[in-house]
Structure 1
Amino acid sequence: MAWLSLVLFLPWFVLLGTLFWLFPRQPRGASRRLFDGVALALAFALSILAMLWGHHIGVVQSDAGPIWRQVLAVLYAYGAFLAVMVAAILLRGPALARRSTKAASKPAAGSP
C-alpha cells in the first residue's frame, strides 16, 4: 500500500515536471535539456525513496492509526519532490548562464 501515494500524486508530479521542463522557454540547448532531465529523474527517485521511508515510519509507530502510513508517505514524497525542484530552479539559472558565457567567450573557428 505504500505505492498508493505515488499513484495519487503522479499526475501532480507530471504537471509540475512539465512546467519545470517548459519554462522559461529560452535558452533551450543540450545542456539545459540534460540539466532538466537529471533534475526530474532525481526528483522522482528521491520522491520514491522518501515515500517508502515515510510509509515505514508510519508502520513502525504503533500509536498511529492506519491512515497515517499513507499520510506520511504522501508528505515525505511531496516534500522530497518539491525540495529537488526548488533546488533545481535555483541552480538552473546560474549553472546555465555560466555555461553560456563560457561558450560565448570561445573564439569561433577560423577567427583571428
Structure 2
Amino acid sequence: MAPLVQLNLALILFLPWFLVVGTLFWLFPRTPRPRGRALFDAMALLASVLAFLVAIHWAHAIADPAYGPMWRQVLATAVGYGAYLAVMAAAFLWRRRWLRGVAREVAT
C-alpha cells in the first residue's frame, strides 16, 4: 500500500460516513435559519474534518509498531473519529444555544 494512502486510510474509509453526518448537521433543524448559519455550519464541518486529520496523523505517529502494523490504523481511526465527534458535538450544542436565542427574538 502506498505510504500516502496508508497514512490517510481512515479518512478515505470515513468520508462516506462524514458525508451522511455532515448532511444531517447541515439540514436539521430546518428552522430558524438566521444569517450566518450557513457560514457557521460550513466552518463547523471544516473544523471537524481538520480535527480528524490532525488526530489521525498524530495517532499514527505515536502508535507503537511493536503491536503490529495494523495497530497504527486502529489507533488512528479511533482517535480521529473521537476528535471528529467531539468537534461536531460542540458545534451542535453551540448552534442549538444560538438558535434558541434567535427563536426567542423572533417570538417577541
> Fold-level match, TM-score > 0.5?
yes
Pairing partner for 2:15 from 7, 10, 15: 10
Q: Does 1:86 align with 2:89?
A: yes
- Select the structure of larger CA radius of gyration: 1
In the TM superposition, residue 99 of structure 1 has moved relative to its aligned partner by 4.9
Q: Does 1:75 align with 2:78?
A: yes
* Cα distance in structure 1, aligned partners of 2:65 and 2:57: 17
Fraction of identical pairs, as percent: 49
Report the residue type matching 1:63 in the other structure: A
**What are the superposed Cα offsets for residues 18-57 of structure 1, whole Å, 9 maximum, x if unpaired?**
1111111111233211211111110011110001011112
In the TM superposition, residue 91 of structure 1 has moved relative to its aligned partner by 1.0
- Unaligned runs of 5+ residues in structure 2 are 1-5
* Cα distance in structure 1, aligned partners of 2:24 and 2:70: 31
Is contact 1:2-1:73 (8 Å) kept? no
Is contact 1:50-1:76 (8 Å) kept? yes
CA RMSD, 1 decimal: 1.8
**What are the superposed Cα offsets for residues 68-91 of structure 1, whole Å, 9 maximum, x if unpaired?**
111111111111110011111111
Pairing partner for 1:23 from 22, 28, 33: 28
Pairing partner for 1:33 from 33, 38, 59: 38
* Cα distance in structure 1, aligned partners of 2:77 and 2:17: 12
Report the residue type matching 1:92 in the other structure: R
- Unaligned runs of 5+ residues in structure 1 are 106-112
In the TM superposition, residue 102 of structure 1 has moved relative to its aligned partner by 6.0
More helix by share: 2
* Residue aligned with 1:27, SS: coil
* Cα distance in structure 2, aligned partners of 1:76 and 1:2: 14
